[in-house]
Amino acid sequence: MGWELVKSAIESPAGSFAFVFFVLLLIAWLIFMTTKYTTQWSMKMKGVDKLEQKIESISGDLLYVKTKLEIFAANTPGGLTASHSPISLTDRGKEIAEQMGIEQIIATNWDLIYKYISENATSKNAYDLQQFCIEAATVALDRLLCKEDLDKIKMFAFNSGQNIAYYGSMIGILIRDKYFAIQGIPIGDIDTHDPNRK
């Protein structure tokens, strides 16, 4: 019955009421369906965007935890840095830094390192700068060094059976020392701003 009405409307003369009414109904139906699917698609895309944001947030949190664990591992007995404040390299840390040629690598990449610290360190007190240098060297080493020098460190880490982040605190301390020397910041100022000592 319904199909017969559609058929008769289609076969009716172009100017007739039935034909015009049918065309208007068809247009309304098309608009409704298009709007419906567009809205559904838009809602799905918003859901995908929210999911991507949550995944990015979780990834950032996991990277932060991983960084803290790597810094902790480097500070354990036999590690590369001594945990007393201000943090310094252990004898083993000095030996590894020398084997890797870290001071030379830092000198070669100093313009890039200095620019990164200047543009991204939000706090200028000694303690926060120290933490920034360590964390940057642990999670953002690719932004501090040229590819060739980064590859050298990666190769050293691979041959030693370590994750590259394991060397972050050691590299960060050497960066801190050079940055503080250039800025005229006494290492002793770290303890002045250390929240754990207040």
* pLDDT tens, N- to C-terminus, the chain (198 residues): 445 555 555 555 554 556 556 666 667 777 777 777 677 666 666 666 666 676 666 665 555 555 555 555 545 545 777 776 678 899 999 999 999 999 999 999 999 999 999 999 998 889 899 999 999 998 889 999 999 999 999 999 999 998 888 899 899 999 999 999 999 998 888 767 556 655
- Judge whether 117 and 90 are in contact, CB under 8 Å: no
Location of structure tokens 């020398």: 98
Separation CA 7–CA 90 (nearest Å): 90
Report DSSP state, residue 188: T
Decide if 180 contacts 126 (C-beta within 8 A). Answer: yes
For the chain, which residues make up each domain, given as ranges?
Answer: 78-197
Question: Which residues lie closer than 8 Å to 142 by C-beta, 6 or more apart?
Answer: 150
* Pick from 131, 130, 141: nearest CA to 163: 141
pLDDT, residue 148, reads: 96
CB neighbour burial string for 95-112, b if at least 16 within 10 angstroms, e if fewer: ebbeebebeebbeebeee
> What is the structure's pLDDT at 2?
47
pLDDT of 163 = 86
- Note whether 125 and 193 are within 8 A (CB): yes
